[in-house]
């Protein structure tokens, strides 16, 4: 029966090439936008280079200190000391890294000023993140303990800073903010959309200006906890919160008396969203709801347009509808037929959209619009795209199919 439906859908497409072109153009354009959007969301929240362990990681990126009446609060990253005491000491994780968010800085290659972003990290950073080393190696605990002025740079910074790219740069000297560092390794850079790994230069936290010795609970550091397996994350969160609960309250920070200390230890998406919005684990629900709403809006308008096109196309086939009903097709079967046909057409549009999406993301990845952009059509994106095609097919197919299935047999045969 399915073959019969698909045969008809194909023939109907061939019957009016211009109509078909308009329909497929609308479908593929809409689906391309949605697929690129899906790919972009996946680029932002998926597990990609060098943060390939996101699915078994937890992030501590923000602390909130509030007074008893909840009228004032201090919010921001934590100090190195705080994270060492409460995160680094956790027993359940495989690894914990403490790293600063990226900070802007300047370097000079000859007379040319290079604006760059730097990050101070511990040695575990290179184990929690999966950077590809193009040259050299990461700094280790020994380099850090010795306070060595070493740096790991990205290939992009190497290209900007060193004029002669034919020679290895490991062992060479770079000057950043009037401090000289020895290049110890070169990595393939991370896109700026991956806050926890992105920088142009990585320094050990013991180098000057890192403020790692700051005697405060807040500061400029965050932590990434790598669990042995994803299912350990709940136990890690419990262990961390247990430690946090033991912090004596109320406290005083530079004259601000706080009665509440909140610090989250959450999976990536929840953690990043909490930077922009309050709401705990619910923020993820809000985020997905907003995305779903946006996608529905993006799909809804072209779908309404397609509904009109489909209604006139289906009504052309009233004789067929009459015949099928006369020979015993139940309304539900006819509804299914027209929905299947519409989904088939949507999937043709989806295949064109997939091709257009590949071209679009190729241009985005090579445009330099997002440094190190690596938008892809991976399995997740592909599955979401299939889902989007199905929803679009249903949205634009159900209404015309319903209208058609209610047509009386005699009327259908007369026309």
Partner 1 sequence: MITLTNIEKVYRTSTIETLALNNINLHIGQGEFASIMGPSGCGKSTLLNIIGLLDAPSKGGISVGGQPVTSYSDQELARLRNQRLGFIFQSFHLINDLSVLDNVEIPLLYRKQISGTQRRQMAQEALERVGLSNRVKHFPKQLSGGQKQRVAIARAIVGRPEIILADEPTGNLDSVMGNEILSILQGLNTDGATIVMVTHDEAMAKKTHRLIRLFDGTMVGDTTLTLC
| Positions in the binding site for partner 1 (CB under 8 A) | 1, 4, 7-8, 11-12, 15, 319-320, 322-333, 408-410, 413
For residue 228, how many other CB atoms are within 10 A of its CB?
12
**CB of residue 317 to partner 1, shortest distance in Å:** 8
CB of 22 to partner 1, least distance (A): 20
Q: Which residue from 321, 291, 309, 268 is spatially nearest to 399, judged by alpha carbons?
A: 309
Q: Which is nearer to partner 1, 329 or 371 (CB)?
A: 329
- Give the single-character DSSP code of 124: T
Residue 196 makes CB contacts below 8 A (sequence gap 6+) with 51, 59, 61, 99, 129, 222, 224
Nearer to partner 1, 75 or 408 (CB): 408
Closest CA to 342 of 401, 403, 406, 404: 401
Q: Which is nearer to partner 1, 11 or 229 (CB)?
A: 11
Q: Which is nearer to partner 1, 331 or 356 (CB)?
A: 331
Residues 6+ apart with CB under 8 A from 176: 105, 106, 107, 116, 118, 151, 201
DSSP state of 92: S
DSSP alpha helices (H): ranges in 280-330? 282-315, 318-326
182 burial via Cβ count (<10 Å: 0-12, 13-18, 19+): middle
Q: What gap in Å lies between CA 232 and CA 146, rounded to an integer? A: 34
Which of 7/257 has CB closer to partner 1?
7
Find the shortest distance in angstroms from Cβ 410 to partner 1. 5
Least distance from C-beta 415 to partner 1, angstroms?
11
Min. distance of Cβ 10 from partner 1 in angstroms? Answer: 8
Nearer to partner 1, 12 or 388 (CB): 12
Q: How far is the CB of 377 from partner 1 (least distance, A)?
A: 34
Q: Of 138, 226, 154, which is closest to residue 190 (Cα–Cα)?
A: 154
Beta strands in 128-269 (DSSP E): 133-136, 150-154, 173-176, 179-187, 201-204, 221-226, 251-253, 256-258, 260-263
Q: 66: which strand partners? A: 73, 260
The distance of closest approach from Cβ of residue 57 to partner 1 in the complex, given in angstroms and rounded to an integer, is 51
Nearer to partner 1, 109 or 329 (CB): 329
Q: Of 291 and 410, which has the nearer Cβ to partner 1?
A: 410
Q: 15 or 228, CB closer to partner 1?
A: 15
The least CB distance from residue 367 to partner 1, in Å, is 45
Secondary structure class of 206 (helix, strand, coil): coil
Name the pairing type of β-strands 150-154 and 179-187: parallel
Residue (of 328, 300, 317, 274) closest to 388 by Cα position: 300
Q: DSSP character for 78?
A: B
Find the shortest distance in angstroms from Cβ 1 to partner 1.
Answer: 5
With beta carbons less than 8 A apart as the criterion, state whether 171 and 118 touch.
no
Q: How far apart are CA 12 and CA 227, in angstroms?
A: 55
Q: Provide the minimum distance between the beta carbon of 380 and partner 1 in the complex, in angstroms, as a whole number.
A: 36
The H or E element that residue 53 is part of is none
Q: Which is nearer to partner 1, 229 or 332 (CB)?
A: 332
């Amino acid at each position: 029966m399915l073959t019969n439906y698909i045969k008809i859908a194909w023939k109907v497409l061939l019957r009016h090439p211009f109509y078909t072109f308009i329909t497929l153009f609308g479908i593929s354009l809409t689906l391309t936008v949605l697929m690129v959007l899906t790919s972009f969301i996946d680029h932002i929240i998926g597990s990609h280079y060098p943060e390939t362990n996101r699915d078994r990681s937890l992030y501590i990126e923000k602390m909130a200190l509030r007074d008893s009446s909840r009228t004032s609060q201090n919010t921001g990253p934590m100090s190195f000391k705080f994270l060492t005491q409460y995160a680094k000491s956790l027993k359940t994780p495989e690894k914990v890294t403490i790293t600063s968010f990226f900070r802007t800085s300047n370097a000079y290659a000859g007379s040319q000023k290079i604006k760059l972003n730097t990050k101070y990290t511990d040695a575990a950073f290179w184990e929690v993140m999966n950077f590809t080393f193009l040259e050299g190696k990461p700094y280790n605990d020994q380099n850090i303990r010795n306070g060595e002025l070493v740096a790991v740079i990205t290939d992009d910074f190497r290209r900007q800073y060193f004029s002669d790219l034919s020679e290895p740069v490991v062992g060479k000297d770079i000057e950043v903010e009037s401090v000289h560092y020895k290049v110890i390794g070169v990595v393939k850079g991370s896109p700026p959309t991956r806050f926890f790994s992105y920088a142009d230069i990585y320094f050990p936290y013991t180098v000057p200006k890192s403020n790692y010795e700051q005697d405060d609970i807040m500061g400029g550091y965050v932590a990434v906890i790598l669990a042995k397996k994803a299912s350990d994350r709940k136990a890690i969160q419990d262990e961390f919160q247990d430690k946090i609960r033991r912090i004596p309250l109320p406290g005083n920070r530079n004259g601000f008396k706080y009665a509440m200390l909140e610090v989250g230890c959450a999976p990536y998406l929840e953690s990043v969203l909490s930077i922009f919005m309050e709401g705990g684990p619910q923020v993820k629900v809000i985020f997905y709801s907003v995305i779903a709403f946006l996608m529905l809006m993006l799909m809804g308008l072209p779908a309404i347009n397609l509904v009109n096109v489909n209604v006139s196309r289906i009504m052309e086939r009233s004789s067929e509808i009459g015949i099928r009903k006369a020979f015993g097709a139940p309304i539900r079967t006819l509804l299914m037929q027209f929905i299947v046909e519409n989904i088939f057409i949507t999937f043709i549009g989806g295949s064109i959209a997939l091709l257009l999406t590949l071209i679009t993301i190729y241009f985005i990845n090579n445009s330099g619009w997002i440094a190190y952009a690596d938008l892809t059509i991976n399995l997740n994106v592909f599955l979401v795209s299939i889902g989007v095609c199905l929803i679009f097919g249903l949205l634009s197919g159900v209404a015309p199919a319903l209208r058609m299935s209610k047509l009386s047999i005699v009327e259908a045969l007369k026309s």
